[in-house]
Structure 1
Amino acid sequence: MMTTFSMKRVNAIFVKDWKDLQRNSYVLFTLALPLFFAAWLGRIGADSAEMIAFPIVFALVIAGAFVQAAMVAEEKEKNTLRGLLLSPASVTEVFVGKSLLSAVSTLVVVVGCIWLAEFNVPSLPLFALSILLGLIFFLAIGTLLGLLSRTVMETSIIGMPVMVIFGMSSMFKSMITNETILTVLDYLPNELLTKIWVGLESGTAVGESFLFLVLWAVGAIAATVIVYRKRRMD
């Protein structure tokens, strides 16, 4: 009985978010951006893991983090998040309910990117696991940004460093000469995902990259839970 009731609460949050998403043209447009990049890569015949990594990571950043942040911040802007924080729903139920639509949207966009870019996925189970870990990390970051933002517009401002660091850092590596900074960049989630996909394609070991990706995901969840509980107490 308790499980059924919990699932009903999760479903109620999901349905509410789905109705809000249908009215939000900004979010719908944002979701389409990675698909344009993937379609362009498909047209020029760039089907290697290193090339397709950009639109897929971009999808995780945009659809996972930004959309999630916008949806949480919109709740705050409409003063409906307070009711959710004070509701009987547990932390897990709130997180799953608020993340479910963003997760589904992100996975649809990722699959769309793979299809448009005509990418042959290497080792599907491990590739899917890496996508799942990346999705968990970026959804947690998105929830954290949403909790820290006062308005939807503010998520774009404070979320910009997230997009630059976690989504576009590989573009700046050629301009950096400091070895310490380059080493740090190599262990960012987006770089770890790229290493995993390139490694799966070439047949090299990817265990270390998976380990660090798990640590990033756990750390992001922990930070989000701490901020969520603080907001709930406030």
Structure 2
Amino acid sequence: MMTTFSMKRVNAIFVKDWKDLQRNSYVLFTLALPLFFAAWLGRIGADSAEMISFPIVFALVIAGAFVQAAMVAEEKEKNTLRGLLLSPASVAEVFIGKSLLSGVMTLVVVAGCIWLAEFSVPSLPLFALSIVIALVIFLAIGTLLGLLSRTVMETSIIGMPVMLIFGMSSMFKSMITNEAILTVMDYLPNELLMNIWVGLESGADVGESFLILTVWAAVSVAATVIVYRKRRMD
């Protein structure tokens, strides 16, 4: 039986998450980490696009994936996720409701990083589009991590490879000599984002990077929906 999309159900999930967040010091501290990096880079006067864009990518990974994972895992710890899974809320309502707060906070942190790092935004519409697509990717990955984790603490363990691969891999590129690994790294979301931002600044064609980033978003959402439905059936 088909259920109609209800903003009331989405809003109820959002309000509940907002109340839970106010009592969660772990999440609040995590949100501050990218801002510290951005403030430090702004203070030392970093001028390379790759260096300045690092805290923005880091904000998307930390605030998007990590915070989202922690909030979903917290539902599991408190045994409230079961009620959500069995509720009349559709997959879209649950995903939007659970992602809305993390998404808003991520955008606030990203804006803070841009301001603190004194990042000059190239082509605002396309830059904003890249942020939105990346936000979908990392919120989906965060939801997936939360569904696979049993506790909030476990999200930190499972999420560490995600942070290293998607958030900090650019810092290790100069130490890697294997061409195959470097080629794979070029297709990671963080590398695609940096390619887009550098390309927008230099006037290069960024169409291919946008296309691959969109594929990442579609695959991430599809994988999360599959795991969510499996958890719902279980």
The alignment-based identity, stated in percent, is: 88
Aligned partners of 2:53 and 2:119 also within 8 Å: no
Task: Give me the TM-score of the superposition, normalised by structure 2.
Answer: 0.97
Q: What's the counterpart of residue 230 of structure 2?
A: 230
1:23 matches 2:26: no
Render the CA deviation track for 1:51-76: whole Å, top value 9, x for unaligned.
Answer: 22110010001000000000000000
Render the CA deviation track for 1:99-156: whole Å, top value 9, x for unaligned.
Answer: 0000000000000000111111110000000000000000000000000000000000
- Root-mean-square deviation (Å): 1.1
- Report the Cα distance in structure 1 between the residues aligned to 2:116 and 2:50, rounded to whole angstroms: 16
1:46-195 superposed matches below 5 A: 46-195=46-195
Q: What's the counterpart of residue 45 of structure 1?
A: 45
- Report the Cα distance in structure 1 between the residues aligned to 2:216 and 2:176, rounded to whole angstroms: 23
Q: What's the counterpart of residue 34 of structure 1?
A: 34
Amino acid at match of 2:86: L
Amino acid at match of 2:49: A
- Report the Cα distance in structure 2 between the residues aligned to 1:125 and 1:189, rounded to whole angstroms: 19
Aligned partners of 1:48 and 1:119 also within 8 Å: no
Aligned partners of 1:47 and 1:120 also within 8 Å: no
Pairs aligned (count)? 232
Amino acid at match of 2:134: G
Aligned partners of 1:137 and 1:220 also within 8 Å: yes
Unaligned runs of 5+ in 2: none
Offset at 1:49?
2.6
Aligned partners of 1:65 and 1:140 also within 8 Å: yes
Offset at 1:47?
4.2
**Dislocated runs of 4+, deviation >6 Å:** none
Unaligned runs of 5+ in 1: none
Render the CA deviation track for 1:12-52: whole Å, top value 9, x for unaligned.
Answer: 00000000001000100000000011111111222443222
- Report the Cα distance in structure 2 between the residues aligned to 1:116 and 1:226, rounded to whole angstroms: 38
State the secondary structure of the residue aligned to 1:120: coil
- Report the Cα distance in structure 2 between the residues aligned to 1:187 and 1:140, rounded to whole angstroms: 18
Aligned partners of 1:56 and 1:110 also within 8 Å: yes
Amino acid at match of 1:14: F
Aligned partners of 2:65 and 2:139 also within 8 Å: yes
Task: Give me the TM-score of the superposition, normalised by structure 1.
Answer: 0.97
- Report the Cα distance in structure 2 between the residues aligned to 1:52 and 1:103, rounded to whole angstroms: 22
- Report the Cα distance in structure 2 between the residues aligned to 1:51 and 1:204, rounded to whole angstroms: 19
- Report the Cα distance in structure 2 between the residues aligned to 1:208 and 1:59, rounded to whole angstroms: 24
